[in-house]
Amino acid sequence: MAIIKNIKEFLGWRTAPKPHITLNDEYYAQLAPFRLPFILTILIMLVGTIGYMVIDGFTLMNAIYQTGITFTTVGYGEIQPISDMGRIFTITLIILGFVIFSIAVGIIAEVVNKGEFQKIAKERKMLYEIARLKHHFVICYHNDFTIQVTKQLRANHIPFVVVDPREDIEEIAKKYKYPYFVQAEAHTEEGILKSHLSSAKGVITLADTITNNIATIASARLYEQEIHRARKYLIIANAQSYEDEQKLLKLGANKVVIATKLMAQRINAMAVRPDMENILQEFLYKKDTPLDLEEAKVSKTSWLTLKKLKATRFRDVANVTVVGVRYEDGKFVPMPKGDTIIMPNSKLLLIGTSEGIKYAKKIIRKKQMPEELKYV
């Protein structure tokens, strides 16, 4: 096994990830009724082979072949002369073959009519596909908010899994083009494991009631501790009021959106600064935009720690601009000057192309000053 593993590593082969819940027991339980006809088929083939060898002196391969074509009643005839006793034995094999075939057809019809096997097989396939996702979002509960959020995620090519306990979730997924879905309560162990939360980037819980949002957030944070996840989940939730917003933030949500408040802010922006709202609409809310806006954390080991902002040279090497600095204590400095000191664990708000921001983040993560900056 060690040799095979080394060969796979040398060739770059990777084992496909498996879901936490494989449904193997349920899957094979549906196949259990087929054991009887399968065992009977093996026994008949064994008895038939021995019978032809003993009765008419067939060779092993001829006996196996004669038993096979007799048992399946394909009508190829006798491959060598058979005695009267052999013909009686052949008739018996034909009758037994017909009986076993009838039993097998009856079992198949019963399994198909129940529909459980197809349902489990389809869900099992879905779980294996979800297990291959990386940095996806687990979206909890289907409603009007979910429909709009998933449209934006699809437009931006961000993978997601919708988790909802309702029985018609498959029909809903087809209607609203959810590529991956799980029928379960989002806060339960089943929902967490089936959605493969361990490899997710975060959770978006959009329940109609605050109790479901609270349960989902608490479960996600507890699971985060259980698996000793180094990077915390990004948890986004919706709320109906300011009081609910504060509760969810205290429980561990990173961001909480109040629909009425958000709508009021957008309308106010349109009324007061229509040109600015048009810019946001053009560059931040659409897919494939020429500009992007992201925060990049400066760790204690980064070469930028305690350096002046002008030392980054992001505009020269990546066409990226630092438009804000957020310090560890929460203080935010908009449009910082070049002599602003970058403190450990602070976050730089970057604006530029997605490729430029990606390159700037790579520079920030380095422990030593990159060579390319020495010649700028």
Domain range summary for the chain, segments of one domain joined by +:
26-116, 133-262, 290-375
Q: What is the CATH number of domain 26-116?
A: 1.10.287.70
pLDDT digits 0-9 by tens, 317-364: 888 888 889 998 888 888 888 889 999 999 998 888 888 888 889 889
What is the C-alpha to C-alpha distance for residues 263 and 280, in angstroms, rounded to an integer?
Answer: 15
Report pLDDT for 282: 56
The answer to whether the CB of 326 falls within 8 A of the CB of 295 is yes
Q: What is the mean pLDDT of residues 184-213?
A: 94
What's the N-to-C CA distance of the chain in angstroms? 52
This prediction has a pTM of: 0.65
Residue bearing tokens 């399946």? 72
Residue type, 263: M
pLDDT digits 0-9 by tens, 41-94: 888 889 999 999 999 999 999 999 988 888 887 777 788 888 889 889 888 888
Q: What is the CATH number of domain 133-262?
A: 3.40.50.720
39: tokens are 């065992």
| DSSP secondary structure code for residue 299 in this structure | -
pLDDT digits 0-9 by tens, 211-270: 999 999 999 999 999 999 888 999 999 998 889 999 999 999 999 998 877 767 666 766
- The candidate with the shortest Cα–Cα distance to 100, out of 142, 48, 65, 152, is 48
Q: Which fold has domain 290-375?
A: Alpha-Beta Plaits (3.30.70)
Least confident segment among 255-259, 284-288, 298-302 = 284-288
Angle between helix 84-114 and helix 116-131 axes, rounded to 10 deg: 70
